[in-house]
């Protein structure tokens, strides 16, 4: 019931870099999972408690309209089950992601998925039964019973989704399909993180090293163009070798989401995905359309890159390379990064800084890459009663500093939400998820630019800002447009082969980067390596979140404490209201093109400043 609204988020985490063994890694740089469960035995106890208590749902079946006290007991029991499941999942997920070869934790992760499916099936009667209760009677229950008042927004949202909630029997069947519909992502994640093997390449000194997810990202910033090209082509090689398998997984995921949407009477998978957070499709369409009409800054940035690199052709492996030399050291230790971030976040006040320090000092963060650890970076989100965790794969690059700032934005959003909302609202929608993260990055960039000691250093930081806009805004809209089109074609009955997916991705990539870009064949199947395409219309929210964060950061610079107070209320709001309203209260209107245009205009100003310094 309430926990089922959040269940989809339990397994949706994305999957950067040194390879010391996990046993040899200093404990300070590994997350402390004892804050969740003291040991695996304690996890098993909670697992068995949930399994044992699931039959209690039957005592409420068919009786929810009869008595307000019984209704409260059902909702509270459902919350209790949800809290246990989320805690169980967090421990299993983080244990698995620490070493994806560990069969014990793969097994625990599989078991919790099965338990979730059983819980969803056991509780599946609640939503359709509630919808049979006349709205007038629900309102009388809410007025009469003080323990029910906490669920008022839940009931508002429930009634809004009434036409997409099916009969008790059908809801139970759909709940049982959870393991099946989540299988494509589970297989994809295991295959690309644990089983896929990458070739080895040699650096400029002749040292051979095996390509990995982390080393790929690090190499894309390296000034050695030959190394970039080697790593780029060798990183993509296994994706090309297994393109048939990856195409099958990709299409299976599309069809799973289309099936779920159609079963619930939505007109499309996108409609179903956005409706969960009450986001009109016009927000998505407005984002894609407005960006398509304003690609000139990205084309201009491509032209500058080509000129500064002094190359005849600009290739995808040239997109993120550091263009400008700087007197500042190129390496950023984790310790140094923490100090920089704390200084940059000072405008948010002492309480906020103390909470960030708490995360740094108490092993909420898993810092360095170890063998078979999940690649990339993420924040675990809100798990009621437990602090959030952060996964990193540190490589001593400036980019890692921003990744840490980004994930700590998520971390603090989850922390503030968990401490200020009751369980039913102690989470935030995916639509809001990327606001706090990119907001932190914006403050960090402004701080570093202000403290730049030379024009060279300032150019480096301006370049970073421009790359942020490129990757978090334009690139994500590009992904969003690709995702929108592949779903439209599939929903129209078209079978998408690997060649058609490659051609579509290439066409969109060329449009976004313009005539300066020469697209290597490897880039054409980038769609096959993006885990976010398995999250069902997730990526557009990076761009909307980035746009919103730019508006919020600007307001804090201009208004000071008043804007900070609004921002902290945003962090505390959780899901206590609809996402667009929560952003509106913070001072951002995502129904308009204004935040999108503001980001485009910001990029133009940054480009002007870069060209003035060249």
Which residue in 171, 369, 407, 457 is the catalytic one? 407
* Parallel/antiparallel/unpaired status of strands 378-379 and 365-366: unpaired
The whole-angstrom separation of Cα 501 and Cα 533 is 13
The partner residues of 465 in beta bridges, in order of sequence, read: none
The whole-angstrom separation of Cα 178 and Cα 118 is 9
pLDDT digits (tens, 9 = 90+) for 366-405: 999 999 999 889 999 999 999 999 999 999 988 899 999 9
Q: Is 524 a catalytic residue?
A: no
- Residue-level pLDDT at 178: 79
Residues of the chain with pLDDT under 50: 1-18
Structure tokens at 258: 């289309």
Contacts 24+ apart (CB under 8 A), 167-175: 167/128, 168/124, 168/125, 168/128, 168/129, 170/263, 171/124, 171/125, 171/127, 171/128, 172/121, 172/124, 172/125, 174/124, 174/260, 174/263, 174/264, 175/4, 175/117, 175/120, 175/121, 175/123, 175/124
Percent of the chain with pLDDT over 70: 96
Using the structure block, give the residue that is written with the tokens 């650096």: 203
Phi first, then psi: what are they for 502, rounded to 5°? -60, -45
The whole-angstrom separation of Cα 391 and Cα 411 is 11
- Residue-level pLDDT at 76: 97
Question: In sequence order, which residues have a C-beta less than 8 Å from that of residue 520 and are 6 or more positions away?
Answer: 232, 233, 315, 316, 317
- Residue-level pLDDT at 128: 87
Structure tokens at 550: 């730019």
Q: Are 7 and 120 in contact (CB under 8 A)?
A: yes
* CA-CA-CA-CA dihedral for 359, 363, 368, 369, to nearest 10: -110
Phi first, then psi: what are they for 386, rounded to 5°? -130, 140
Q: Which of 146, 91, 115, 119 is nearest to 5 (CA)?
A: 119
Structure tokens at 106: 């793969």
Q: Which of 513, 587, 508, 510 is nearest to 552 (CA)?
A: 587
Q: Are 410 and 416 in contact (CB under 8 A)?
A: no
How much of the chain is helix, strand and coil, in % rounded to 5? 70, 5, 30
- Residue-level pLDDT at 441: 92
- Residue-level pLDDT at 327: 52
Structure tokens at 362: 């108490």
The domains located in the chain, with CATH, are 2-181 (1.20.140.70), 197-241 (1.10.287.830)
The whole-angstrom separation of Cα 105 and Cα 107 is 5
């Amino acid at each position: 019931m309430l926990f089922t609204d959040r269940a989809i988020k339990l397994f949706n985490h994305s999957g950067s870099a040194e390879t010391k063994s996990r046993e040899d890694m200093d404990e300070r740089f590994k997350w402390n999972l004892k804050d969740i469960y003291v040991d695996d035995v304690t996890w098993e106890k909670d697992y068995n408690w949930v399994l044992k208590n699931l039959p209690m749902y039957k005592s409420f079946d068919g009786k929810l309209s009869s008595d307000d006290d019984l209704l409260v007991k059902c909702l509270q029991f459902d919350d209790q089950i949800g809290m246990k499941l989320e805690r169980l999942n967090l421990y299993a997920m983080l244990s698995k992601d620490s070493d994806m070869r560990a069969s014990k934790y793969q097994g625990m992760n599989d078991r919790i998925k099965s338990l979730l499916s059983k819980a969803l099936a056991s509780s599946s009667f609640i939503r359709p039964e509630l919808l049979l209760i006349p709205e007038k009677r629900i309102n009388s229950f809410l007025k009469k019973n003080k323990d029910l008042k906490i669920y008022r927004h839940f009931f508002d949202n429930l009634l809004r989704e009434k036409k997409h909630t099916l009969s008790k029997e059908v809801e139970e069947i759909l709940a049982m399909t959870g393991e099946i519909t989540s299988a494509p992502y589970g297989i994809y994640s295991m295959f690309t993180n644990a089983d896929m093997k990458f070739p080895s390449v040699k650096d400029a000194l002749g040292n051979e090293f095996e390509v990995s997810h982390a080393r790929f990202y690090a190499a894309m910033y390296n000034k050695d163009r030959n190394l970039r090209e080697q790593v780029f082509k060798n990183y993509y090689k296994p994706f090309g070798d297994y393109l048939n398998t990856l195409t099958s997984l990709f299409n299976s995921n599309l069809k799973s989401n289309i099936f779920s949407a159609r079963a619930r009477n939505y007109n499309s998978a996108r409609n179903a995905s956005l409706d969960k957070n009450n986001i009109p499709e016009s927000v998505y369409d407005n984002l894609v359309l407005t960006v398509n009409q304003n690609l000139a800054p990205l084309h201009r940035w491509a032209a500058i890159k080509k000129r500064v690199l002094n190359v005849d052709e600009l290739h995808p492996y040239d997109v993120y390379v550091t263009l400008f030399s700087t007197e500042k050291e190129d390496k950023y230790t984790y310790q140094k990064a923490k100090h920089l971030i704390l200084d940059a976040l000072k405008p948010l006040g002492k309480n906020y800084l103390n909470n960030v320090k708490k995360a740094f000092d108490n092993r909420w963060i898993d810092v360095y890459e170890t063998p078979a650890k999940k690649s990339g970076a993420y924040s675990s989100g809100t798990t009621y009663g437990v602090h959030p965790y952060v996964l990193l794969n540190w490589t001593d690059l400036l980019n890692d500093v921003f990744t840490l700032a980004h994930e700590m934005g998520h971390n603090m959003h989850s922390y503030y939400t968990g401490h200020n909302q009751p369980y039913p609202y102690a989470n935030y929608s995916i639509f809001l998820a990327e606001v706090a993260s990119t907001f932190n990055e914006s403050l960090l960039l402004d701080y570093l630019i202000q403290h730049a000691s030379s024009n060279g250093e300032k150019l480096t930081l301006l370049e970073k800002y421009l790359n942020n806009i490129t990757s978090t805004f334009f690139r994500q809209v590009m992904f969003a447009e690709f995702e929108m089109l592949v779903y439209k074609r599939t929903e129209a009955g078209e079978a998408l082969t690997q060649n058609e997916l490659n051609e579509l991705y290439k066409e969109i990539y060329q449009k976004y980067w313009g005539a300066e870009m020469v697209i290597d064949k490897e880039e054409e199947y980038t769609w096959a390596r993006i885990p976010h395409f398995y999250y069902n219309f997730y990526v557009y929210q990076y761009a909307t979140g980035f746009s919103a964060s730019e508006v919020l950061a600007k307001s804090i610079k201009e208004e000071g404490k008043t804007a900070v107070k609004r921002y902290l209320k945003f962090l505390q709001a959780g899901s206590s209201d609809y996402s667009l309203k929560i952003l509106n209260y913070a001072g951002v209107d995502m129904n308009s093109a204004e935040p999108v245009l503001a980001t485009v205009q910001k990029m133009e100003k940054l480009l002007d400043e870069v060209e003035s310094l060249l």
